[in-house]
């Protein structure tokens, strides 16, 4: 996308996300952000009161993606199992198309330790978990899937695998996209839990 169509504040947030993706949350400060944006630190302060405000905007960007996915999947007229799986697929698609979002997901602990982003990130992660648990529980209750695992255990499996794959992608250069790996794993996972 042509940067002329993106306002400066949004470009600064995008640059902050790139810095976190490239070097980790601890590396984000006004100096590195101003350098990445090719501006002075004093000009950066015209847009944000400090790095804490930038972090809040970064966390809001991350949570907006999750809220959008949950709203989209919840509105679909599909089975409960399909809703849980579709949510994971859509996360994987977002992480494939915007890998820096995956880096934010892997830096969630840093966001949870920051007083300005803690509640927002905790709410996002809990909403993610609660949505999947609710759909898995409904799938169990309605006999869509076997009940050898609890809904909570199933949620831990899919979210844990998603996070593990995000970490693996950062450690190993894989020629398959995050989306392809997740879809392959979800097919196997579904075959284990679906009632035959």
Per-run averaged pLDDT (10 residues), the chain, 196 residues: 68 95 92 95 94 96 93 97 95 87 88 94 95 98 95 95 84 73 87 84
Q: What are the structure tokens assigned to 43, written together?
A: 């000009």
**What is the model's pLDDT at position 57?**
96
**What is the model's pLDDT at position 55?**
96
Q: Are 165 and 184 in contact (CB under 8 A)?
A: no
**Which residues lie closer than 8 Å to 73 by C-beta, 6 or more apart?**
83, 86, 87, 90, 131
**What is the model's pLDDT at position 173?**
64
**What is the model's pLDDT at position 1?**
42
**What is the model's pLDDT at position 174?**
63
**What is the model's pLDDT at position 2?**
46
């Amino acid at each position: 996308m042509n940067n002329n169509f993106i306002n400066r504040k949004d470009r600064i947030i995008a640059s902050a996300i790139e810095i976190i993706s490239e070097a980790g949350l601890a590396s984000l400060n006004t100096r590195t952000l101003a350098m990445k944006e090719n501006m002075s630190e004093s000009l950066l302060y015209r847009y944000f009161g400090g790095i804490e405000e930038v972090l809040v905007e970064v966390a809001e960007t991350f949570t907006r993606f999750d809220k959008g996915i949950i709203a989209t999947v919840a509105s679909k007229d599909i089975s409960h199992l399909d809703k849980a799986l579709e949510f994971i697929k859509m996360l994987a698609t977002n992480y494939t198309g915007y890998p820096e979002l995956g880096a934010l997901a892997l830096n969630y602990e840093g966001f949870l330790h920051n007083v300005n982003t803690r509640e927002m990130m905790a709410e996002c992660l809990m909403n993610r978990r609660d949505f999947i648990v609710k759909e898995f529980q409904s799938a169990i209750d309605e006999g869509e899937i076997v009940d050898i695992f609890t809904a909570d255990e199933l949620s831990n499996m899919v979210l844990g695998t998603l996070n593990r794959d995000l970490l693996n992608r950062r450690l190993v250069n894989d020629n398959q996209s995050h989306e392809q790996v997740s879809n392959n794993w979800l097919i196997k996972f579904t075959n284990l839990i679906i009632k035959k």
